[in-house]
Every structure is written in structure tokens, then in C-alpha cells.
């Protein structure tokens, strides 16, 4: 057999290998998506609308910098239907731009008689921590000084505009037997539909399925029962962590408490992302929190890298078969790649339709998923896969991470309280 013939045989055999990994990755994606769509439909049908109670609760909002939707966040919090709750706002410093926004917004809402909270306190972070992130330090400052009567502590992000039954739903679900914490997730509906904003929305559409399946809480809309907080030692744990949410899942399970994902707690974000480079860094930081603090990180990493590598391999095989004169194999590989991308778009659309049904049923207006929007989302899927792969690589190799202008160094040590041999901590770089 001459060299050219041998090359054709080798490349032809590789053609199947180029397609097989993509198929192997698609099957679990399809299964997870089907499970997620059924979960949303089942919970939406089964869950009764909780009634407002007098269960004492506190909402903690940590601020650093002025988020575009910050005023809307305060308006949404003021409209909560829960009867007995306190608002705790911890700002990085009195010179931070968010300080005046928080003071003016809360004062205006109270003056107009629109504030539903029982009391509202706004205070600066007492001091920069020796270890851990500024957000975790802010949370500890609030959580360690909860009112003695408080039974549920709820966390909300500065870009999470929640609906008026958000706190009622959190408190009701958090007090179910055996449940220690509940959270929702974010859903991006960028008004301008920029490239970066659409890539973020596409990536997030897949991320929420993983988070629901792997039990990864989202701190932007999270509540924890006080007994569970004390049993897990969560406040002590986040002394050295980068984030609070992914660091909760393991201790919660070890203490015998359950975590629940609630579709009714979706928070809609309509802001656009600025550009792909900062967006890639942002996605990498989201992934890094799973790498540092969540036991299912290997599955997340395999998905993030595997999809793009499989497609890249298929395209390389297509090039090699074309150069070897095997147009039939080239066409087969390219057809498989197109079919994979089309199927991925179909999965994304099914996720979007399921989430839209939940949000619309809850009375939250959304732009319709027109053919133009669906086509644009689909066109951004391949780019999203590339950004996802780059972000996963950054998360895998990161030794430092920048968050809101602060650079943190990642430090690894031993964890005597878990099966994992290593435990991640962060500290502010000098």
C-alpha cells in the first residue's frame, strides 16, 4: 500500500473518531436538557403560590460599584409581599458610588410609603479581610449580626431584579422539612442583543441546566435557613473563600440538609455585555468558583472543553480528508458538524421556551422569541462554544482572579473536614 493510500485509510478512520466525540457529548446534553425542561414544567404545575407569612427574615445586599440596574433592584425589593423582614445593605465603603445610590433610593422609597421592609440599615464594610473575598467579608458582617428572631437569611445581587413574591417564595421553600437552602438563577434578556450580550445569554442558558443538575446554588437569589447556616459552619467557611454560593453545597450535604433549585426564583437581567474579552474573563470567574469550591467541577470542565475539542477535531479531520481527496468523507464530517450545531441550537431554544413559560406565567413581561431572535441566538452558538472553551482553560490555569477591581491570589491547602485532599482559599494580593 503506498503512502497516499495509507494516509486516506488513516484519515478515513479518523473521520468517525472526529464525529463520535461530538455525538458522545451531545447525548448527555440532550438528556440533561430534557430533564431540566420537565423539571420546570413539573414544578410550575405543582407549586402552589405561597402566602405571605410573618416568619422573620433578613435580606442581605452587598455592594461594590454602581451596577446599571441598582435603582431597579431597590424598587423590586421595596415591593416584596413578605410581612416581616429587614433589609441589610453592606457597601464596600462610604466613598463607593453605590453608597449614595443606596441611601437615596431607600430614603425615597420610604418617604413615598413604598418600602415593604420593616427596617433598613446601610453600613460600610468594617475592614478588608486578611483572607477571602470582599463580598464574603460583607456577608459575614451581616450574617454574624442577624436579629435573634431571624429564621431565614436571603441574599440578592446588585444586578438581580426580582419579582414581588420573591422573598415569600424563598422563605416558604426554605422552611420545608429537610431543606436548608434554596436558590433560583439568572436569565439574560439583553435589550440591544449585542454580540457579547447574546453570547452571555447563550452560555447562561446552558449553565443554568448544569447548575440545576449538579446542585450548584446561585448567590444572586439564595436563601438559607438559620439552623442550616449554624449546622454547616457556613459563616466560618466563607472566611477564606472567593464566593459564598458554590462553597455552600458540600457543607450543606454533609450536615444532612437538602438544597433546592426553584424555577420561580429566576431573576431577569436585561443589560448587554460590553465586549467579548471582559465577558470571557467574567465567564472564567464563574467557572473558577466551581473549580475552587464545588465537587462537580470535573464534569463542568469536561463539558466546557470537550464540546469545542470535539468540533475542532472534526474540522481537522474534514480538512485532512479533503486534502487526501476523499470528498465523501469530508462531506460526511461537515454534515455531522452542522447537524451537531443545529441540534445544539434546538436544545438552547427548548431551554429558552421553558424558562419563558415560567417567567410569563409569573407575570413578568418578556420579548417574544421571534424568528429573527432565534436565528441570532443560533448564529452566536459556535462563538459561544469557543468563548466557553477559552474561559474553561482560564479557570483551569488561574492562579489569580480579578473581581471588581480587586485581584485575589488562589491558595491551596489541606481540608480536614471533607474527602477532598485540597481546599481552595483566596487572599487579596498586596
Give, in order, the Cα–Cα distances in Å from 321 to each of 2, 4, 17, 18. 16, 11, 13, 11
> pLDDT by residue (tens digit) across 203-219?
999 999 999 998 899 99
Buried b (16+ CB within 10 A) or exposed e, 377-415: bbebbbebbbbbbbbbbbbeebeebebeeeebebeeeee
Q: Does 22-430 carry CATH code 3.90.550.10? A: yes
pLDDT at residue 4 in the model = 32
> pLDDT by residue (tens digit) across 377-389?
999 998 998 899 9
Domain boundaries, the chain: 22-430
> At residue 422, does pLDDT exceed 80?
no
Q: Which residues contact 329 (CB under 8 A, 6 or more apart)?
A: 11, 12, 15, 317, 321
Do residues 101 and 73 touch, judged by C-beta distance below 8 A? no
List the one residue out of 390, 403, 373, 379 whose CA is nearest residue 312: 390
Pairing of strands 221-225, 179-183: antiparallel
**DSSP assignment of 313-337:** HHHHHHHHHHHTT-HHHHHHHHHHH
Contacts by 37-41, CB closer than 8 A, 24 or more apart: 37/350, 37/351, 37/354, 39/212, 39/261, 39/263, 40/263, 40/354, 40/355, 40/357, 40/358, 41/354, 41/357
**In angstroms, rounded to a whole number, what is the distance separating the alpha carbons of residues 254 and 38?**
28
Give, in order, the Cα–Cα distances in Å from 370 to each of 123, 178, 376. 45, 42, 10
Cβ neighbours of 319 (radius 10 Å): 13
> pLDDT by residue (tens digit) across 1-48?
433 333 333 333 444 444 555 566 678 888 999 999 999 988 776 555
What percent of the chain has pLDDT above 90?
Answer: 53
pLDDT at residue 264 in the model = 80
Give, in order, the Cα–Cα distances in Å from 48 to each of 42, 119, 169, 266, 299. 12, 29, 10, 17, 34
pLDDT at residue 22 in the model = 58
Do residues 70 and 101 touch, judged by C-beta distance below 8 A? yes
**In angstroms, rounded to a whole number, what is the distance separating the alpha carbons of residues 26 and 389?**
16
> pLDDT by residue (tens digit) across 133-181?
999 999 999 999 999 999 999 999 998 888 888 999 999 999 999 999 9
Do residues 321 and 17 touch, judged by C-beta distance below 8 A? no
pLDDT at residue 19 in the model = 53
> At residue 414, does pLDDT exceed 70?
no
pLDDT at residue 315 in the model = 77
N- to C-terminal Cα separation, the chain:
65
Do residues 64 and 98 touch, judged by C-beta distance below 8 A? yes
What's the mean pLDDT in 304-318?
79
pLDDT at residue 20 in the model = 59
Amino acid at each position: 500500500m503506498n503512502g497516499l493510500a495509507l494516509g486516506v485509510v488513516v484519515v478515513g478512520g479518523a473521520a468517525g473518531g472526529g464525529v463520535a466525540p461530538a455525538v458522545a457529548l451531545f447525548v448527555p446534553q440532550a438528556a440533561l436538557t430534557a430533564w431540566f425542561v420537565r423539571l420546570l414544567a413539573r414544578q410550575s404545575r405543582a407549586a402552589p403560590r405561597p402566602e405571605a407569612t410573618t416568619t422573620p427574615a433578613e435580606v442581605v445586599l452587598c455592594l461594590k460599584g454602581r451596577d446599571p440596574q441598582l435603582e431597579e433592584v431597590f424598587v423590586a425589593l421595596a415591593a416584596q409581599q413578605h410581612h416581616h423582614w429587614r433589609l441589610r445593605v453592606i457597601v464596600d465603603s462610604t466613598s463607593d458610588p453605590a453608597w449614595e445610590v443606596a441611601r437615596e433610593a431607600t430614603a425615597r422609597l420610604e418617604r413615598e410609603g413604598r418600602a415593604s421592609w420593616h427596617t433598613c440599615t446601610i453600613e460600610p464594610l468594617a475592614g478588608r479581610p486578611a483572607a477571602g473575598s470582599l463580598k464574603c467579608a460583607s456577608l459575614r458582617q451581616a450574617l454574624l449580626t442577624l436579629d435573634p428572631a431571624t429564621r431565614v437569611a436571603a441574599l440578592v445581587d446588585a444586578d438581580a431584579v426580582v419579582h414581588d413574591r420573591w422573598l415569600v417564595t424563598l422563605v416558604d421553600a426554605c422552611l420545608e422539612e429537610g431543606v436548608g437552602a434554596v436558590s433560583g438563577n439568572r436569565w439574560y434578556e439583553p435589550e440591544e442583543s449585542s454580540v457579547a450580550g447574546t453570547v452571555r445569554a447563550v452560555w447562561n442558558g446552558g449553565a443554568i441546566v448544569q447548575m440545576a443538575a449538579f446542585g450548584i446554588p446561585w448567590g444572586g437569589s439564595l436563601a438559607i435557613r438559620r439552623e442550616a447556616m449554624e449546622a454547616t459552619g457556613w459563616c466560618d467557611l466563607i472566611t477564606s473563600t472567593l464566593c459564598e454560593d458554590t462553597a455552600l453545597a458540600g457543607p450543606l450535604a454533609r450536615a444532612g440538609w437538602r438544597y433546592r433549585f426553584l424555577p420561580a426564583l429566576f431573576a431577569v437581567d436585561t443589560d448587554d455585555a460590553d465586549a467579548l474579552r471582559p465577558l470571557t474573563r467574567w465567564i472564567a470567574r464563574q467557572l473558577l468558583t466551581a473549580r475552587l469550591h464545588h465537587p462537580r467541577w470535573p464534569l463542568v470542565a469536561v463539558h466546557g472543553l470537550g464540546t469545542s475539542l470535539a468540533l475542532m477535531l472534526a474540522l481537522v479531520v474534514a480538512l485532512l480528508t479533503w486534502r487526501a481527496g476523499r470528498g465523501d468523507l469530508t462531506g460526511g464530517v461537515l454534515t455531522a458538524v452542522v447537524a451537531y450545531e443545529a441540534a445544539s441550537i434546538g436544545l438552547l431554544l427548548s431551554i429558552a421556551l421553558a424558562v419563558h413559560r415560567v417567567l410569563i406565567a409569573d407575570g413578568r413581561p418578556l420579548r417574544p422569541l421571534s424568528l429573527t431572535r432565534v436565528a441570532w441566538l443560533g448564529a452566536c452558538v459556535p462563538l459561544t462554544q469557543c468563548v466557553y472553551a477559552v474561559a474553561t482553560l482560564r479557570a483551569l490555569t488561574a492562579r489569580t482572579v480579578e473581581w471588581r477591581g480587586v485581584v485575589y491570589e488562589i491558595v491551596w491547602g489541606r481540608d480536614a473536614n471533607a474527602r477532598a485532599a485540597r481546599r481552595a482559599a483566596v487572599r487579596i494580593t498586596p
